[in-house]
Structure 1
Amino acid sequence: MQALQFSRTGDLAAVQCVEVPVPVAAPGQLLVQVKAAGLNPSDVKNVLGRFPYTTLPRIPGRDFAGVVVEGPQEWVGQEVWGTGSDLGFFNDGSHAAYLTVPNGGVARKPQSLSFAQAASLGVPYTTAWDALERSGVIAGTRVLVIGGNGAVGSAALAFARIRGAQVLAAVRKPEQAQALRAKGYETLVLDQPEGLGAQVHAVFEGGAEVIFDTTGFWLPAAVGALAKFGRIAIIAAPVEGYVQLPALGLYRKGGSVVGVNSLLYDCAACARMLEHFGGYFDQGLLALPEGLLEVPLSEGPQRFAEVNAGSSDKVILIP
Structure 2
Amino acid sequence: MKALQFSAYGPVSVLEIAEVPAPHAGPGQIRVAVRASGVTPADRYLRSGRFRDLLPVPLPHVLGVDAAGVVDEVGPGVLGVRPGDAVFGLVDLAKHGGANAEYAVLADWAPKPDALSWEQAGGAAGNVETATRVLDRLEVGTGTTLLIEGAAGGVGTIAVQLAAARGATVIGTAGPHNHAFLAGLGATPTTYGPGLGERVTALAPDGVDAVLDCAGSGSLPELVSLAGSPDRVVSIADPEAPRHGVHLSRSAGPGGDLPAVHGLAEAAALAEQGRLTVPVAAAFPVERAAEAHELSGTGHARGKIVLTF
State if a TM-score over 0.5 links the two structures.
yes
AA aligned to 1:145 is I
CA contact under 8 A between 2:158 and 2:278: conserved in structure 1?
no
- Give 1:39 deviation, angstroms: 1.4
- Could you list the runs of 4 or more consecutive aligned residues of structure 1 that deviate by over 4 angstroms after TM superposition? 227-230, 242-245
Paired position in structure 1 for 2:182: 180
Alignment partner, residue 145 of structure 1: 148
Matched, 1:136 2:139: yes
**Residue 184 to residue 90, structure 1, CA distance change in 2 (3 Å):** closer
Q: Secondary structure at the match of 1:106?
A: strand
Of 160-169 and 224-233, more deviation after overlay is shown by 224-233
Correspondence list, 1:1-319, <5 A: 1-52=1-52, 53-71=56-74, 72=78, 74-76=80-82, 77-84=84-91, 86-87=92-93, 91-102=96-107, 105-171=108-174, 173-181=175-183, 185-192=187-194, 195-216=195-216, 217-227=218-228, 231-237=232-238, 241=240, 245=244, 257-263=246-252, 264=256, 269-286=259-276, 288-308=277-297, 312=301, 314-319=304-309
Contact 2:116 2:271 in 1 (8 A): yes
Which whole-Å CA distance do the structure 2 matches of 1:212 and 1:65 have between them? Answer: 27
SS of the equivalent of 2:232 reads strand
Length, aligned pairs only: 297
Q: How far apart in 2 are the matches of 1:12 and 1:47?
A: 8
- Quote the offset at 1:291 in angstroms: 4.7
Change (3 A) 1:101 1:285: closer
- Classify the secondary structure of the residue corresponding to 2:104: strand
1:12-42 Cα offsets, whole Å, 9 max, x none, are 3332112233223344432221111111221
Residue pair 2:160, 2:185 contacting (<8 A) in 1 also: no
| C-alpha deviation, 1:302, in angstroms | 4.4
- Normalising to structure 2: TM-score of the pair? 0.83
Q: Distance in 2 between matches of 1:31 and 1:143?
A: 37
User: Using the alignment, how far apart are the partners of 2:197 and 2:67 within structure 1?
Assistant: 40
Q: Is the 8 A contact 1:143 1:168 kept in 2?
A: yes
Aligned-residue CA RMSD (Å): 2.9
Q: Deviation at 1:44? A: 2.0
Verify the 8 A CA contact 1:35 1:318 in the aligned structure 2.
yes
Deviations 1:247-266, CA, capped at 9 Å, x for gaps: xxxxxxxxx73432243368
Structure 2, unaligned stretches of length 5 or more? none
Shift of 1:281: 0.3
One-letter amino acid of the counterpart of residue 284, structure 2: V
Task: Judge which range, 203-212 or 298-307, deviates more.
Answer: 298-307
Indicate if the aligned counterparts of 1:116 and 1:294 stay in contact, CA closer than 8 A: yes
Q: How much has 1:73 moved relative to structure 2?
A: 6.7
User: How many Å separate the matches in 1 of 2:249 and 2:298?
Assistant: 25
8 Å Cα contact 2:147/2:211 also seen in 1: yes
Q: Higher Cα Rg: structure 1 or 2? A: 1
Partners of 1:131 and 1:112 in 2: how far apart? 25
Over 3 Å counting, the alpha-carbon distance change for 1:285 and 1:13 in structure 2 is: same
Tell me if structure 2 keeps the 8 A contact 1:209–1:229.
no
CA distance in 2, matches of 1:24, 1:123: 21
Q: Which moved more, 1:307-316 or 1:216-225?
A: 307-316
Counterpart Cα distance in 2 of 1:144 and 1:151: 16
1:89-116 CA-to-partner distances (Å, cap 9, x unmatched) read: 66321111112234xx222222211221
Deviations 1:113-170 (A, max 9, x none): 1221111222222222211110011101122222222222222221221111122223
Give % identity. 32
Q: How far apart are the structure 1 equivalents of 2:247 and 2:293?
A: 30
Evaluate the alpha carbon distance shift between residue 289 and residue 74 of structure 1 in structure 2; reply closer, same or farther with a 3 A threshold. closer
For structure 1, list consecutive stretches of 5 or more residues without a partner in the other structure: 246-255
Q: Which moved more, 1:153-162 or 1:89-98?
A: 89-98
